[in-house]
Structure 1
Amino acid sequence: MNDEKQPLLTGPSTPTESNETQIVELVSESNVHSNEEKRKAEYHPASERCLEHPTSNFDTLIHLLKGNIGTGILAMPDAFKNAGLIFGVFGTLLMGAICTHCMHILVECSHELCIRNQRPALSFSEVVEDAVASGPVFLRPYAKKMKNVVNVFLVLPLENNMKTPEDFGGWAGVLNTGMVIVAALYTAIGFFGYLKYGNHVRGSITLNLPDDLLAQSVRTMMAAAIFLSYGLQFYVPMNIVWPYVKSKLTSETALKYGETFTRLIMVTITFTAAALIPNLSGIISLVGAFSSSALALIFPPAIEIITFWPDKLGKHYWKLWKDVLIIIFGFTGFVFGTYASIEDILNRQNI
């Protein structure tokens, strides 16, 4: 036998009589590989999910809106003060388009990795872990560490819990519909807030409102909206903090009351910070520049490069160049936004 790869011989392992015909099946490595690819191609993650309470398209849209429209929208007029009306409008819409595209990237990568690893659903951190673990060889030892670094994101839990997840993407899907509404609201609040109060606009637009009945009713409704959505906004930090705290608790009593006590401490910290920090706009800008840039603009394109490396990045590697540009854009915003926010906080403290 020469050194060439020979077909694998598979057949009965027991001896046969001389007058019996033995059937021998020739299975080449290419056939094994093609069968494996066919099995993966026929795997549909959505059909394998067992959801106790699947959400409808409308439910998912509402969750998407509430998850993206937080108290940061009240600081949009202050952002327009720094950017200007025209650049603020087009900049906000451009950011909305890029962020929406990055969300589509995450959903596409999650679907690819679910099929590749035969898993029904993945969270954002699991997508990062699986992408790195199956990506370039030099990155694979860092898969677990990357999962710990990136442990949050809203889009994938929404898509994973849908009754009809195929309706999440697409031009008129839930994601695009929700993000168009989000971008329109952020742009409108920023534009009209700055148009009304100009350079006198404060860190939260509610601080500029007068003390009449209409303004007080607006403040009341905003407070009610924040209160009712606080649980949804708190879903992500609790998913990060509670597993670590739970691992340190040993007694049944501690486990019984530990989660409630942890939530109480975290809520108290956020309320205390909101009451004591005078420069709210600086903190909002710092958090947005430091964390949102990384999560929304840097990690998704990096995950796409790793997931589809090296032969699924499109003709002439157009996906690679597109992702590199988004990463550079996000990193630029991360560096300069963080620097400007810290400088603004320090300057206001010295006044």
Structure 2
Amino acid sequence: MAHQADKTTEVPLLQSSSSSGTASSYQTLGNIIVSIVGTGVLGLPFAFKVAGWAAGALGVIIVGLSTYYCMLLLIQCRDNLASEEESKEAKTYGDLGFKCMGTTGRYLTEFLIFISQCGGSVAYLVFIGQNLSSIFKSHNFTSSSFIFLVIPLQIVLSWINSLSSLSPFSIFANICNVLAMALVVKQDVQMIAGEDFSFGDREAITSHIGGLPFAGGMAVFCFEGFGMTLALESSMKERGRFSKLLAQAFTGVTLVYVLFGFFGYMAYGDQTMDIVTLNLPHNWSSIVVQMGLCLGLIFTFPIMVHPVHEIVEQKLKKSTWFQKLPRRASDNSMTNFAKFCIYISRAILVLGLATLASCVPGFGAFVSLVGSTVCALLSFVLPASFHLKLLGSSLSFWRRALDLFILSFGLVFAVYGAYSSIVGV
């Protein structure tokens, strides 16, 4: 998500990352995987525990296929608008919302992406707090205590305007994710190979009906990065190959998700925690990986929250009182006081996210709530709605029926999934 400081008329998060289309197929494939995979994967074993191993695996596959299909719908909608001379400027998710539902559609789309980005940022903080409290549990610090302990550093990092300065930490966090998954799988295999393991104790389908949508919400959250679909496709040198690359990426990621969730639940059964790293033994290798994960997320949190800062600052700069602030006579740039106001707004936003994170009862419940509501609306409901609006008259009966099914199911899933996440399972 490139920094777009000079463009104040669009939401930066929703802009196309490249208008020239210079990315190779390998670069695009890597970008797709990075945009999809996040910390939510470490909650998948818990989702399999809640839903059952068979239902969990089937749910992840269905969510993966549905997300892939809806991403293609979004591309079709954009291509349809681009074919119309008067709609050449429709290049973002927000533009599609505007073309389909006017100003309300644009605001709804951009608001949902804004909330999903905030939700991802809060999930980062909850993950950091729970893992640090697990590592230092002998010191009797709560998860909330650790969240607020790292906030001063997060505020300082949020004042860095150049994302390129933080990109090495993002790479470090991805490496730690891979190492954590490898360590968890190694531990899973050892647990499954142990004498105490009993396959019969692991439920294929849970008897608790609320467990299915709860796990579904976690699965939807794991396929994050939907807002980057148009930007990723536009960045390709050979855009015609995007659907094939997307299929390859989703096939690989879905397979990894299913195996990781399955083996995690097989290893720990009913003792599976909502963050599977909390199940690891308290030895030096586990602690190193957990600390690496936390450190990586501490330095990538500013990257996750950066688009949110830009959106807030765009609204701030358009406000009447901000525009009345004095500017430098030489180049009409902001004064130090104006920049101070922006820094204060960033600090307040980070504190607000930390306060929200401190109130979250658990990583799994929060991830499922965000996935069931905001992510489901973005990933399923809006793409199906846009597709019906723009191309409905030219679609076959079965294509229209499929879009209507996705739209209806997405709405029901959002309502019931939110309910099951709030009341617990």
**TM-score, L = length of structure 1:** 0.72
Structure 1 distance, partners of 2:338, 2:30, is 32
Aligned twin of 1:155? 229
Give the letter for the 1:109 counterpart.
Answer: C
Deviation at 1:120? 5.6
Aligned twin of 1:39? none
Aligned twin of 1:288? 371
Deviation at 1:237? 3.2
Instruction: Tell me which stretches of 4 or more aligned residues in structure 1 moved more than 6 Å.
Output: none
Structure 1 distance, partners of 2:25, 2:298, is 24
Deviation at 1:168? 1.4
Deviation string, structure 1 residues 102-159 (Cα, Å, up to 9, x no partner): 0000011011111213516511011121133xxxxxxxxxx10110011131211222
Deviation string, structure 1 residues 299-346 (Cα, Å, up to 9, x no partner): 111110001132x112xx2221110111122122111111101101xx
Aligned twin of 1:222? 293
Deviation at 1:57? 2.8
Aligned twin of 2:14? none
**Within 5 Å, which residues of 2 pair with 1:1-351?**
50-51=19-20, 54-116=22-84, 117-119=86-88, 122-132=91-101, 143-151=102-110, 152=113, 153-169=227-243, 172-173=244-245, 175-227=246-298, 229-230=300-301, 232-234=303-305, 236-238=307-309, 240-248=311-319, 249-250=322-323, 251=325, 252-253=334-335, 256-257=339-340, 260-275=343-358, 277-310=360-393, 312-314=394-396, 317-344=397-424
Q: 1:266 to 1:70 in 2, by over 3 A?
A: farther
Provide the identity percentage. Answer: 26
8 Å contact from structure 1 (residues 109, 304) kept in 2 = yes
Q: 1:118 to 1:326 in 2, by over 3 A?
A: closer
Give the letter for the 1:55 counterpart.
Answer: A
Structure 1: state its 5+ residue gaps. Answer: 1-48, 133-142
Deviation at 1:255? 5.1
Pick which of 230-239 and 148-157 moved more: 230-239
Structure 2 distance, partners of 1:63, 1:257, is 34
Structure 2 distance, partners of 1:261, 1:165, is 41
Structure 2 distance, partners of 1:240, 1:184, is 35
Q: 1:264 to 1:339 in 2, by over 3 A?
A: same
Give the letter for the 1:162 counterpart.
Answer: M
Q: 1:88 to 1:101 in 2, by over 3 A?
A: same
Structure 2: state its 5+ residue gaps. Answer: 1-17, 114-226, 326-333
Structure 2 distance, partners of 1:92, 1:200, is 21
Give the letter for the 2:385 counterpart.
Answer: A
Deviation string, structure 1 residues 268-299 (Cα, Å, up to 9, x no partner): 44345445534222111111111111111111
Pick which of 233-242 and 207-216 moved more: 233-242
Give the letter for the 2:367 counterpart.
Answer: I
Deviation at 1:180? 2.1
Structure 2 distance, partners of 1:163, 1:264, is 39
Deviation string, structure 1 residues 11-40 (Cα, Å, up to 9, x no partner): xxxxxxxxxxxxxxxxxxxxxxxxxxxxxx
Structure 2 distance, partners of 1:56, 1:264, is 38
Deviation at 1:221? 3.7
Structure 2 distance, partners of 1:120, 1:147, is 14
8 Å contact from structure 1 (residues 129, 147) kept in 2 = yes
Deviation at 1:64? 2.1
Structure 2 distance, partners of 1:83, 1:190, is 11
Structure 1 distance, partners of 2:275, 2:47, is 10
Structure 1 distance, partners of 2:349, 2:33, is 24
Aligned twin of 1:34? none
Aligned twin of 1:30? none
Pick which of 83-92 and 211-220 moved more: 211-220
Deviation at 1:186? 2.3
Structure 2 distance, partners of 1:260, 1:56, is 37
Over alpha carbons, which structure has the higher Rg?
1
How many residues align? The count is 280
Give the letter for the 1:94 counterpart.
Answer: I
Structure 1 distance, partners of 2:30, 2:410, is 27
Which of the pair has the greater relative contact order for Cα pairs under 8 Å at 6+ separation? 2
Deviation string, structure 1 residues 35-63 (Cα, Å, up to 9, x no partner): xxxxxxxxxxxxxx853x84333333333
Structure 2 distance, partners of 1:158, 1:185, is 22
Deviation string, structure 1 residues 143-193 (Cα, Å, up to 9, x no partner): 101100111312112222333322212xx32x2222223322322332122
Q: 1:258 to 1:305 in 2, by over 3 A?
A: farther
- What RMSD in Å do the two structures reach over aligned CA positions? 2.5
8 Å contact from structure 2 (residues 57, 262) kept in 1 = yes
8 Å contact from structure 1 (residues 66, 229) kept in 2 = no
